[in-house]
């Protein structure tokens, strides 16, 4: 990969930085799912967004549709019937509105920024994402956000299959505080992503690779 790629050919994907996976009131105490490391990462992401946008980069904010039976993909609805994983799907069958959960956490897309929704893990399930990237002639994707071992990883796989290259900012991708998931995200950052999907660097090194 050319070490000096054009920033206009890159797109920053800010994935699922919403209250559902960040705010203290949305933590799932029963499942021991807390978001301390995610909240610690968010200010770094905020700063990078400012610097990247000032440099002329393209930003696409991605969030899930309401995580309920009405909006989710049918296979997810079927999967979440399993009692072993149903604590992740609070209110999926209740019909309750979870607007607060679906709002962004401490990041604020501006008026002309692109915001897309997805009803599964991989953001490319929304065909508008691929269409937008192609219209802007994007070649390189910069995935950030949460959960690194969930929706971020699924989106990396989905985009790679569509032919996109990656610069993965390992310090701007996080997951829950669950110990096994923290061990997994370390493996992804240090081995899985750099060996299979793209150059994996920290945010402060990003501008060494673009012009």
pLDDT class for 185, splitting at 50, 70, 90? very high
User: By three-state DSSP, how is residue 146 classified?
Assistant: strand
pLDDT number for residue 92: 54
Q: Does residue 45 surpass a pLDDT of 90?
A: yes
**What distance in Å separates the CA atoms of residue 40 and residue 43, rounded to the nearest whole number?**
7
Half-sphere exposure of 79 (CA within 13 A, CB side): 11
User: Residue 87: its pLDDT value, please?
Assistant: 60
Q: What is the pTM (predicted TM-score) of this model? A: 0.93
Tell me the domain boundaries of the chain: 7-204
Pairing of strands 10-15, 140-146: parallel
Q: pLDDT at position 122, please?
A: 97
Residue position matching structure tokens 């509105």: 97
Q: Which residues pair with 62 in a beta bridge?
A: 15, 116
Kindly report, residue by residue over 111-161, the tens digit of the pLDDT.
889 999 999 999 999 999 999 999 999 999 999 999 999 999 999 999 999
Nearest to 152 by CA among 129, 189, 123: 123
pLDDT value at residue 68: 79
* pLDDT recorded at residue 168: 98
Query: Which CATH number, 3.40.50.850, 3.40.605.10, 3.90.226.10, 3.50.40.10, labels domain 7-204?
Result: 3.40.50.850
pLDDT in tens, 53-108: 999 999 999 999 887 778 888 998 888 887 777 666 655 555 555 668 889 999 99
Asked whether residue 196 carries a pLDDT value surpassing 90, the answer given is yes
The pLDDT, as a whole number, for residue 30 is 73
In the chain, what is the straight-line distance between the N-terminal and C-terminal CA atoms, in Å?
14
Tens digits of residue pLDDT in 162-180: 999 999 999 999 999 999 9
Check if the beta carbon of residue 12 is closer than 8 Å to that of residue 142: yes
Rounded CA-CA distance 23/105 in Å is: 7
């Amino acid at each position: 990969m050319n070490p000096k790629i054009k920033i206009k050919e890159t797109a920053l994907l800010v994935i699922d930085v919403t209250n559902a996976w960040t705010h203290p009131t949305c933590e799932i105490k029963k499942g021991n799912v807390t978001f301390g490391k995610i909240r610690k990462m968010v200010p770094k992401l905020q700063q990078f967004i400012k610097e990247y946008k000032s440099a002329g980069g393209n930003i696409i904010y991605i969030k899930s549709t309401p995580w309920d039976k009405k909006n989710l993909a049918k296979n997810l609805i079927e999967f979440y019937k399993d009692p072993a994983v149903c604590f992740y799907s609070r209110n999926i069958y209740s019909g309750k509105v979870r607007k607060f959960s679906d709002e962004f956490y401490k990041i604020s897309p501006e008026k002309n920024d692109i915001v897309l929704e997805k009803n599964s893990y991989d953001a490319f399930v929304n065909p508008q994402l691929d269409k937008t990237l192609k219209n802007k002639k994007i070649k390189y994707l910069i995935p950030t956000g949460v959960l690194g071992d969930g929706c971020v990883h699924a989106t990396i796989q989905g985009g790679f299959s569509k032919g996109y290259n990656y610069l993965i900012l390992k310090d701007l991708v996080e997951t829950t505080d669950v110990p096994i998931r923290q061990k997994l995200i370390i493996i992804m950052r240090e081995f899985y992503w750099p060996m299979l999907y793209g150059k994996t660097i920290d945010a402060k090194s990003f501008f060494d690779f673009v012009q």
